[in-house]
Structure formats: structure tokens, C-alpha cells
Amino acid sequence: MIEQTSLIKQRYDELTKLCIDPEVIADNKRWQKLVKERSSIEEIANLHDELVKLNKNLEDSKKILATETDSDMRQIFKEDVLETEKKIEDIEQKLQILLLPKDENDDKDVILEIRPAAGGEEASLFASTLMNMYIGYAEKNGWQVSVNELEETELGGLKVCSLTIKGNDVFSKLKFESGVHRVQRVPETESQGRVHTSTVTVAVLPEMEEVDFEILDKDLKIDTYRSSGAGGQHVNKTESAIRITHLPTGIVVACQDERSQIKNREKAMNILKSKLYDYYKTQIDSKYSENRKNQVGTGDRSERIRTYNFPQGRITDHRIGFSLFNMDAFLAGDIGEMIEKLQEYEQQKKLEAISKN
């Protein structure tokens, strides 16, 4: 295990030096990239150091034990050997998981889109609830959230919501949220007390600032319009919002968050890059339609990754068969435990795949 992690440790030390180099700091884009890479391998580097130290202690204890004749001292060193071996075993298990193949997008920021599906106004209202849940979770993680597009209903629900979320390892956690979320509750608009079932679709895409394909101006249709969200009188007077249509694929993106049309266009182009990356990547795999169906589905009640059952106060993730009973806290953004269970499930599947090969 030490041999496997030694090169990562060397790279970590190299990055540590580069990150305090004045020339590197002057190039902010490069510096941020190196800092992010250093952060991604920091835990492995620290565990490597600890493993080296423990192996040295184990070797020393075994040498002393081999020559020690006093029974009391031998017992002490026997216990030390057993304790150190247990610590080494625990660290090696952690490293085994950390060294598993990672999704190439795990350290990227995300574009998160929320749309109501089946259920009319109740679905729109729950879409708004999910938006606040993700914003709350982002705040707990110290991530930055900006609104790209937001269309609300008269009752405060959402027609569509697009967020950009930036921070450490955002995609590695939020990627599990892609799919259909089903809610079972008495609607706020229902006076008869009957439980209704509605669905909301969530799509999580890695933000791609650099892409290995060309976006041609002739393939873009760019429209300007007046923003329809919060922002006071300004949004009603200027056409600062941007809508971009990629003609070859029919993909449409919009951004209305900034007061500046130029800034909205820049953000909309970043969103378009992410959507086109997702499109072309899945096209290469010859599974685009199937993958998007698997990720978001059609919004039908039967296609779901998670159910929020209000009468029982239960949130169940159907992929792993795991339930929580903390509805209020969960919808306030306390979804970390669910994310951790999904990450553990993913790790277990990877370990099983490696053991079979």
C-alpha cells in the first residue's frame, strides 16, 4: 500500500511548493487548479505519512519483542504490536477506498436543474422546496450558489430553476440527486385532506469551462428578454436576460441572474458547454437517450429515485433501500447522511467490481 501511495505523496509535496510559488500565485487560474488538485489528494498524502510512521513503529516493536526477556515488557510490546497492526489495517482500508477509480467529474462544480413533472401546482411547490433544500445543503458545505434561471408560479412554486453551485467536490456529492423525486403529502392547495403524489425531476451536470469540441457562432441562436424574477424595477426595464439555442442539438439554456447582458451571456455559454459535454459524451457511448432517461426519466410517478412521504415523516432512497425520519431537517438541507450512504454504496460496488477482475 505504501508503494501505491508514495507517488501521490510526492505529487502532494510538489503541489505544496508550487502553491506558494509567487509566479504560480500570479497566474490565478493555474493557482486555483493546483490548489484544487492538492486538496483532492491531501487525505491520501496524510494517511501515507501516518502509514509510514506506523510501519516503522511496528518494525521497531517487533525487533524489541524478539530480544526482550522480561515477561511484563514482552506483554507490553505484544499489545503494542497488535494495536499498531490494527491501526495499519484501518488505514489501509481507508486508502483502498480513496484509491478507487474516481468519476473524472467528481471535483467539478455543477449546474443543477429542477423542474416540476406530474402533479400540477403541487409539483411546482415541491420543486421550490427542493431548490431551498439544495441551497441549504450548499450553505452547510460552504459552497457558493448562483441562480441562472428562475421562473415562479403565482403561488410561489417553480416552473423551472437552474442553479450553479461551486465549491469543493460538489459533483461527487450532488451527482446522486439526478432523477425523479416523488412527494406524497396533503397539498397546500388541497382542503380535503387527501394525500396526493407528485413528482419533480432533478438533473445534475458537471460545469465544463473547457471543452474539447468547438461551438460555432453559426450554430447559435441568441435571444434577449426581460428577466422575470426578483430584482426590483430594473428587471422590467432592460432586456438583460439571455437565451441561447444550440441549433444542431436543440439544446436551450437561459440566464437572467446578472444585471449585465454580457455577464448573463457568459454564464449561459458555460451552462451550454456543460449540456453539450453531457450530450456528446453520452453520444460517444451510444447511449445518450438511455442515459438521460435513466438520469431524469419522464417524470412519471413510477420512475423515482427517492420518495418524501410526509404523513409518515419518511424519506426513502429506493436505490439503496435507506430511509430517514427527519423530514424538516432534511428539507432544510440536512441531506449529508443520505449522500454518505449513497457514496458508500458506490464505493462498495466499485470494490466488488475490482474483486471480480
CATH architecture assigned to 217-284: 2-Layer Sandwich (3.30)
With a CB cutoff of 8 Å and minimum separation 6, the contacts of 276 are 211, 213, 215, 246, 249, 251
Q: What is the pLDDT of residue 241?
A: 87
Conformation bin of residue 142: beta by default, left when phi > 0, alpha when psi is -120 to 50: left
d(CA 202, CA 205): 10
For the chain, helix (H) and strand (E) counts, in that order, are 11, 11
The HSE-up count of residue 142 (CA atoms within 13 Å, CB side) is 2
Q: What is the pLDDT of residue 48?
A: 94
* Three-state secondary structure call for residue 266: helix
Q: What is the pLDDT of residue 292?
A: 47
Pairing assessment for the beta strands 179-185 and 158-166 based on DSSP bridges: unpaired
Q: What is the pLDDT of residue 211?
A: 66
Q: What is the pLDDT of residue 286?
A: 52
The answer to whether 143 touches 187, Cβ cutoff 8 Å, is no
Q: What is the pLDDT of residue 289?
A: 44
Whole-prediction pTM value?
Answer: 0.71
pLDDT tens for the chain, residues 1 to 357:
788 899 999 999 999 999 999 999 999 989 988 998 898 899 999 999 999 999 999 999 999 999 988 889 999 999 999 999 999 999 998 898 888 877 778 888 999 999 999 888 999 999 999 999 999 999 999 999 998 889 888 888 999 999 999 998 899 999 999 999 999 998 876 666 788 899 999 999 988 866 667 788 899 999 888 765 544 333 444 577 889 999 998 999 988 877 778 888 888 888 898 888 888 776 665 544 444 444 444 444 446 899 999 999 999 999 999 999 999 999 999 999 999 999 999 988 888 877 776
Instruction: Kindly report the CATH class assigned to 110-210+296-356.
Output: alpha beta
d(CA 295, CA 204): 9
Q: What is the pLDDT of residue 288?
A: 41
Q: What is the pLDDT of residue 303?
A: 63
d(CA 142, CA 336): 13
Pairing assessment for the beta strands 241-246 and 314-317 based on DSSP bridges: unpaired
d(CA 227, CA 150): 9
